[in-house]
Chain A
Amino acid sequence: MDITPQIMKRSAKLGMGFVILSFLVGITTTLVFDYSARFGPGVNNPEALFILPLMVIPFASISGLLITTPIYLLFVYDKNNGVLEYLLAVGMSQRDIFGGYFKAAIGLCVAAIAPVIMINTVFLPSGLYNTMIMNFLAVVTSVSDVSLVTILTMAFSSMQRRPTGVNTPLGITIGMILVLPEVFLLLSFGSSVFWVDVAMALMIFILSIAMLLLVNILISREKFLP
């Protein structure tokens, strides 16, 4: 029983505006920073050449978070109209349900970063090795950020008692605050940026997976009822 493909489809369909915005942000910012690194006024400045490609990473994360926003709303909507209750009734566990939305979020995030990777590969002036590193950083950062924000938002949303509560945006906000250091501190770590970023992404991702694995214990089925 895997609801991931259905959640991806429903989310993309319901949140088409978010999908468009996400691709627009990802593609535009990547083009701007890659172009600036290649042809901008700082082309002879080593610091600018280092920073500009790195700027793509936070925007790739934002792009990933944008495309997954409808998933958080879909989770609340499904809770409020009894879909989650029915999924429990047909034998799914809390973890199965969270996992479905979680994997759908990761899937959409990867789809949003794909054009960023392609543009980077074509336009980055810093050679194949550096480009691959940049792309790797963009992927791990975005995926880890999306995973933490998704799991936190769903956890907060499921603890919402009233349909009109504000737990969903609260979850998104707290998730964003937690991932912001990863996104922006990488600009302060000079040449060790790769390891710092990968370490932070790994920690965030492990935390998200741990929370997902513990969902059956941490969140009772009652929290999924309308």
Chain B
Amino acid sequence: MLRIEDVSSDYERREVLHSINITLPGPGVYVVLGPNGAGKTTLFRTIAGVLKPYTGAVFFNGVNTYHSNHIRKDIGYLSHFTSLPEEMTVRQALDFYASIEGGNSESAIRKLGLEEFENLKISKLSQGLKKLASVAKIFLRERKLFLLDEPTSNLDPSYSMMIRDMMLSLAKEKMIFYSSHNLYEASNVSDQVILIKEGRLVFFGKREELKTRSYRIGIRSDKDLKPLFLGGYYEKGYYVLTVKDKEETAEIIKKVLESGARIYEVRELDNPLEEVFKGE
């Protein structure tokens, strides 16, 4: 269990997080969302025990993460810096960390499919591969909690998918904090959302419970849908409708199918989480 109790954190007396209270009961993926400067990275650093909260405390399995060096080993922390000595090869860098915290570089390299690049210097890698090598270091040893600050930034879609799949598979037993700027990705990873704005927790719960404004969906069908739904219009082969929530989308799909039309695709043209990133 992760308990964040009345945590306020600052950098040189500039308060960034204000009285955050969250209790996460057990395994799962928790997506942390918020616009730039909302305090997501500060929250991750505070949970990881890297940054001292000036009020409150973070407890993982009952132990204060700032005060216990031991508990921090159970936490896999991925910051958005690569945190790898660039003059080393991938293998050397992972061995370097394995010599400090224990673990096995071989299995981490295999897990991330980095065999082909293990003898290349970090400085010679593309941004995407650097990110991948950086992710590898959190798999050097067993962890109970993963704090992943934008783990898929700079990664191409196939690697992003690989990381997401790994996280989803891990989430059956482990607790995963995941921040992302990619709202579609965030929607796919989890329905548990932690929303932070200006350093304050504004929402924690299921994505469906997050009140969103209406958004657009596009339907590709074999029939003209205009007679069925008068408010819509065609755009790039999709019949576009504005809906309030998923329930309304389900109703529309049902109505289309009942009319005897076939649906080839339904997609969200706006992400319902987008407003999260707007400074409202």
Among A1, A82, A87, A221, contact of B52 (Cβ-Cβ < 8 Å): A221
Q: Contact at A90–B83, with CB atoms within 8 Å?
A: no
Cβ-closest chain B residue relative to A1: B100
Which of B71-79, B232-240, B261-269 lies at the binding interface?
B71-79
Q: Contact at B11–A85, with CB atoms within 8 Å?
A: no
The SS class assigned to the A binding surface is helix
Contacts of A81 in B (CB 8 A): 81-86
Q: Contact at B100–A85, with CB atoms within 8 Å?
A: no
Contact A14-B87, Cβ < 8 Å, known A87-B100, A222-B11: yes
Chain A-chain B contacts (Cβ-Cβ < 8 Å), number: 72
Cβ-closest chain A residue relative to B122: A81
A115 beta carbon closer than 8 Å to chain B = no
Pick from A82, A83, A90, A221 the residue with the most CB of B within 10 Å.
A90
Tell me the smallest distance from the CB of A162 to a CB of chain B, in Å.
Answer: 13
Among B50, B81, B87, B97, contact of A88 (Cβ-Cβ < 8 Å): B50
Among A1, A88, A222, contact of B12 (Cβ-Cβ < 8 Å): A222
> In the bound complex, how far is the Cα of B52 from the Cα of A93, in angstroms?
12
> In the bound complex, how far is the Cα of B80 from the Cα of A85, in angstroms?
11
Tell me the smallest distance from the CB of B242 to a CB of chain A, in Å.
Answer: 43
> In the bound complex, how far is the Cα of B87 from the Cα of A1, in angstroms?
21
Among A1, A83, A89, A222, contact of B85 (Cβ-Cβ < 8 Å): A83
> In the bound complex, how far is the Cα of B51 from the Cα of A222, in angstroms?
6
Interface residues of B in 54-89 (CB under 8 A from A): 69-70, 72-73, 75, 77, 79, 81-88
Contact A86-B87, Cβ < 8 Å, known A91-B70, A92-B69, A221-B50: no
Cβ-closest chain B residue relative to A14: B87
> In the bound complex, how far is the Cα of B45 from the Cα of A1, in angstroms?
21
Among B12, B81, B83, B99, contact of A6 (Cβ-Cβ < 8 Å): B99
Cβ-closest chain B residue relative to A96: B69
Pick from A81, A85, A89, A221 the residue with the most CB of B within 10 Å.
A89
Among B48, B79, B88, B101, contact of A1 (Cβ-Cβ < 8 Å): B101
> In the bound complex, how far is the Cα of B39 from the Cα of A220, in angstroms?
19
> In the bound complex, how far is the Cα of B73 from the Cα of A221, in angstroms?
17
A51 beta carbon closer than 8 Å to chain B = no
A226 beta carbon closer than 8 Å to chain B = yes
Q: Contact at B50–A83, with CB atoms within 8 Å?
A: no
Among A14, A90, A220, A225, contact of B45 (Cβ-Cβ < 8 Å): A225
Mark each residue of chain A from 80 to 121: 1 if its CB lies under 8 Å from any CB of chain B, else 0: 011101111111110000000000000000000000000000
Q: Contact at A221–B72, with CB atoms within 8 Å?
A: no
Contacts of B45 in A (CB 8 A): 85, 225
Among A82, A86, A225, contact of B97 (Cβ-Cβ < 8 Å): A86
Q: Contact at B51–A82, with CB atoms within 8 Å?
A: no
B28 beta carbon closer than 8 Å to chain A = no
Contacts of A226 in B (CB 8 A): 81
Tell me the smallest distance from the CB of A121 to a CB of chain B, in Å.
Answer: 36
Q: Contact at B51–A86, with CB atoms within 8 Å?
A: no
Q: Contact at A85–B50, with CB atoms within 8 Å?
A: yes
Contact A89-B50, Cβ < 8 Å, known A13-B87, A82-B81, A222-B12: yes
Contact A221-B83, Cβ < 8 Å, known A6-B99, A91-B72, A91-B73: no
Q: Contact at B79–A85, with CB atoms within 8 Å?
A: yes
Tell me the smallest distance from the CB of B132 to a CB of chain A, in Å.
Answer: 16
> In the bound complex, how far is the Cα of B141 from the Cα of A91, in angstroms?
14
> In the bound complex, how far is the Cα of B107 from the Cα of A198, in angstroms?
52
Cβ-closest chain B residue relative to A90: B101
> In the bound complex, how far is the Cα of B24 from the Cα of A136, in angstroms?
60
Contacts of A225 in B (CB 8 A): 45, 50-51
> In the bound complex, how far is the Cα of B88 from the Cα of A83, in angstroms?
13
> In the bound complex, how far is the Cα of B76 from the Cα of A179, in angstroms?
42
Among B52, B79, B82, B100, contact of A92 (Cβ-Cβ < 8 Å): B100
The 7 closest A-B pairs by CB, nearest first: A82-B81, A82-B83, A91-B69, A86-B83, A89-B77, A91-B72, A90-B101
- Chosen A-B contacts, 19 in total, with CB atoms closer than 8 Å, are A10-B87, A81-B82, A81-B86, A86-B83, A86-B97, A86-B137, A87-B100, A89-B49, A89-B50, A89-B77, A90-B100, A90-B101, A220-B52, A221-B50, A221-B51, A222-B11, A222-B12, A222-B52, A225-B50
* 5 further A-B pairs in the complex, CB-CB below 8 A; given A6-B96, A86-B79, A221-B52: A10-B85, A81-B81, A81-B85, A87-B100, A93-B69
